[in-house]
Amino acid sequence: MLFNNIIFGPIISRRFGISLGINLIPTTKKICTFDCIYCECGWTDDVNTQHFPPREDVKSMLQQTLEQISQRPDSITFSGNGEPTLHPDFPAIVDDTIALRNQYFPSAVITVLSNSTTLDREPVFEALKRIDNNTMKLDAGTEKTFRQLDRCFNKEMTLDRITDNLCRFQGDLIIQTLFLRGRYDGEYIDNTSEAEVAAWLNRLERIRPRKALLYPIDRATPAKDLEYIARPELEKIAEKVRALNIETLTFD
């Protein structure tokens, strides 16, 4: 499922309440540094493009929407058809969004959903530090499961490198993790196993996020043989995170 507008919603988000979405990726294709086996947008077509929506269009459409909507959003959320921080004008668009939020709905938070692979780019990292909810993906505790689950195109981008970059936020971030089990491409993949969860917890203990969000598959996935993890099982994992004094929420 692709988002066919630059600005979409408001929608009811299971994690962020009433959410007004910003899609910085072209509306006709998915562009991402990951090719996650569970992504609701399907398989990744491309990593690079010259056809991101212009900054001016994003600003104009966001302002128009904020002027017209009658329902106050809880969150203005960068999401959509791939990795939002790949947009070449991402830092400037963040600044535009902060200014418009302050003008129209100052109590709304700004959220970016990122897969954590672009944090080496200093302007991206600094832009993420300026928003309220820099929500970073960490789906695995081991390199093997990271490769199986998220299928990063950049083979030099390791889980250790991602973890080191997440530590740079000094705790001012949210970690989001999708849990699943299943088979893909002849391999069994499970980030809920005792060993995998222990390795993931070790990384969380290093990162020390202010919050962790644990959730299962919610929509159709490109890989078909994946298992939905019920909330009681997620709660068992969540209790281990809470034992580290990290606020943790689970979702159906």
121-145 pLDDT per residue, tens:
999 999 999 999 999 999 999 999 9
Which CATH number describes the domain made up of 7-250?
3.20.20.70
What's the rounded mean pLDDT across residues 43-64? Answer: 86
At residue 193, the pLDDT reads: 97
Structure-token match 């999401």, residue found: 79
At residue 51, the pLDDT reads: 81
Q: How confident is the model at residue 49 (pLDDT cuts 50, 70, 90)?
A: low
What's the token pair of residue 98?
Answer: 């902060």
Decide the pairing of beta strands 187-190 and 181-184.
Answer: antiparallel
Q: How confident is the model at residue 99 (pLDDT cuts 50, 70, 90)?
A: very high
Beta-ladder partners of 250 = 214
What's the token pair of residue 85?
Answer: 């921080």
C-alpha distances in angstroms, 46 versus 23, 25, 29, 55, 81?
16, 11, 8, 21, 11
Nearest to 175 by CA among 201, 195, 145, 142: 201
Structure-token match 């990951």, residue found: 34
Tell me how long the chain is: 252
Alpha helix locations (H) across 75-184?
90-104, 122-129, 143-150, 159-167
Q: How confident is the model at residue 151 (pLDDT cuts 50, 70, 90)?
A: very high
